[in-house]
Amino acid sequence: MSRSMTKIRLSTKFAYGVGAIGESSVIWLFSTLAFFYYNQVIGLSGTLAGLAVLIATIFDAISDPLVGSISDNYKSRLGRRHPFMYISFIPVSIFYVLLFTPKPDWDLSQIQLFWWMFVCASFTRIGMTFFEVPHRSLGSEMSRSYTERTSIFATRELLGWMGGLFNAFLAYTIFFKDTPDYMPGTKNPEPWIYYGMTGATIMCFSVLVTYFGTLKYRDNSQIDIPVFNLKLIFNQIFIALKNRSFLIFFFGYLFIAVSWGMGSSLQIYMNTYFWEFKSIMLASYLGIYVLSTISAFLLVPALVKVIEKRTILLFAIMFAALIPPIPIFLFINGFLPASGTWNLFYATIPFVYVGNTCLSSSAIIRESMLGDISDEVELDSKIGQQGLMFASSSLIGKLNTGLGILMAGIALEFISFPQGVEVNPSAENIFNLAMVQGPLVAILMFIPFGIFSMYKIDRHRHEEIIAKLEQT
């Protein structure tokens, strides 16, 4: 059996997956906290905050295929991926902290706040690209086994979620505790800079663990790569776009990212103003997220052995769309306990558990599917371009998450949701917020369901692809 088809040690999978902790910290930061901080704490308008994130992600998105293709073609004694992973933590750590430096008493104008957020967000995200794209590509190169590859990305997804949840735990139990002056604690301007410093430290740690823990796979490429040039990049992009499976993945993931970006950005608003959950309740939620993530980690690799990846993904998308609006409608119609109570918190637990299990499962499957697609593209083109393929996925996720955040900002402006520490929303504001977070996001989630139903790479097709690649 070739090296690419052998079973990967659990310790190696763990070391690889630790890198996702840093990634998830940045993702959670931008999808939830950064938008809330600038809008509700600093007082930047929702539209401008969303626009700053979107423009930053456009610059970031442009860098994704460039970094992916450069790492595909890069040659060194440390391999193709690891040098880029190693240097990434420097810009990320610096600008991660600077992002949370402004305070309400700085008396900055809306334009000045916009530019500060935009510059810090841009450098943070571009720096993250230098880790994320090579890291995801490395996971695909570690094994070509249909099931083993799923296990690798399941480990990555599990630790990524754990990292995000750990950051959330620190946020709600240490940095943003409720106080008489600030209810909820997330509206207190003082702890944010310290939270940024802690996140930067976690990022550095995760990068170094992954770097040294996966060095043995630095030369696991199965194909010789031509010397890098811009013409090659555009040629590789054109090759990928001619692949039907990749196009389905591209547009399917596009709508998942938009809906997820919008929903996650508004979730902190829902927890704060609609559900009126206290910080201790939000911290308690993390246990449910942990259990649901572990469930997906255990469930998906087992299901892949007997069920096609497409089928698993379609069911995950369907339930991820249907479950979240249910408690909103039950609460509005008086079937759930009063807001801010522990009884309400307990009533929402089953919905949170099922919804997050589906989201985690869909992420695991998408990563594994993209690895299979990259094999198909390599077979057709005779060029190994896992970096470019995973960069394209990263591009979609970042760009459209940014678009989702902008849509969230526009929606907040449209329903006249107030901004800044001193102003509280009306009952009408809160009701309209729930209608955006519930039905609208659910409708967006059903679009990728139809797109992914056309995906054709199954177990049999992948076995044919690998057999032909092993012959070359």
> For the segment 162-205, what is each residue's pLDDT rounded down to a tens digit?
777 777 778 878 888 877 777 777 778 888 888 888 888 888 88
| CA 115 from centre of chain | 24
Q: Classify residue 5: in a domain, yes or no.
A: no
Residue 334 backbone class (left: φ over 0; alpha: ψ -120 to 50; beta: rest): left
* Structure token digits, residue 216: 């043995």
Residue type at position 367: E
pTM above 0.75, yes or no: no
Q: Report pLDDT for 175.
A: 86
- Its domain, for residue 289, covers 13-214+227-471
Q: Classify residue 6: in a domain, yes or no.
A: no
Q: Report pLDDT for 400.
A: 66
Q: Classify residue 386: in a domain, yes or no.
A: yes
The CA distances from residue 266 to 22, 65, 221, 407, 433, in Å, are: 22, 29, 41, 10, 8
Question: Does residue 67 contact residue 134 with C-beta atoms inside 8 Å?
Answer: yes
Q: Report pLDDT for 420.
A: 66
Instruction: Report the 10 Å Cβ neighbour count for 180.
Output: 5
Report the distance separating Cα 433 and Cα 411, nearest Å: 8
Q: Report pLDDT for 237.
A: 65
Q: Classify residue 414: in a domain, yes or no.
A: yes
Report the distance separating Cα 125 and Cα 140, nearest Å: 22
Q: Report pLDDT for 2.
A: 47
Domain count, the chain: 1
Residue recorded with tokens 């010789």 = 224
Residue type at position 254: L
Q: Report pLDDT for 327.
A: 93
Q: Report pLDDT for 337.
A: 93
Report the distance separating Cα 397 and Cα 261, nearest Å: 9
User: DSSP string of 69-106?
Assistant: HHHHH---TTTTTHHHHHHTHHHHHHHHHHTT---GGG
User: DSSP string of 175-244?
Assistant: IS---SS-SSGGG-STTHHHHHHHHHHHHHHHHHHHHHHTGGGTT--SS--PPP-HHHHHHHHHHHHT-H
Q: Report pLDDT for 3.
A: 46
Q: Report pLDDT for 372.
A: 83
Q: Classify residue 4: in a domain, yes or no.
A: no
Residue 260 backbone class (left: φ over 0; alpha: ψ -120 to 50; beta: rest): alpha
Q: Report pLDDT for 312.
A: 92
Q: Where are the alpha helices (DSSP H) in 382-457?
A: 386-414, 427-435, 441-452
- Tens digit of pLDDT at every position of the chain (472 positions): 444 556 778 888 888 888 888 777 776 666 677 888 888 888 888 889 888 888 887 887 777 777 777 777 677 677 778 888 777 878 888 888 898 888 888 888 899 999 999 999 888 888 888 888 788 777 777 777 767 777 887 788 778 877 777 777 788 788 888 777 777 777 788 888 888 888 888 888 888 888 888 877 766 554 444 454 556 556 666 667 778 888 898 888 888 888 877 888 888 888 888 998 887 887 777 778 878 888 888 888 888 888 888 999 999 999 988 998 999 999 999 999 999 899 999 999 999 999 989 988 888 888 778 878 878 877 776 665 565 666 666 666 666 667 778 888 888 888 888 876 566 788 888 899 998 888 888 888 888 899 999 998 888 888 888 888 777 6
Q: Classify residue 303: in a domain, yes or no.
A: yes
* Structure token digits, residue 201: 């430290």
Q: Report pLDDT for 398.
A: 65
Going by C-beta distance under 8 Å and a sequence separation of 6 or more, which residues neighbour residue 264? 31, 32, 404
* Structure token digits, residue 433: 């917020």
Number of alpha helices (DSSP H) and beta strands (DSSP E) in the chain: 18, 0
Q: Report pLDDT for 423.
A: 63
Give the CATH number for residue 365.
Answer: 1.20.1250.20
Q: Classify residue 1: in a domain, yes or no.
A: no
Q: Classify residue 219: in a domain, yes or no.
A: no
What DSSP character marks residue 99?
T
Report the distance separating Cα 356 and Cα 342, nearest Å: 20
Report the distance separating Cα 65 and Cα 59, nearest Å: 11
Q: Report pLDDT for 345.
A: 92
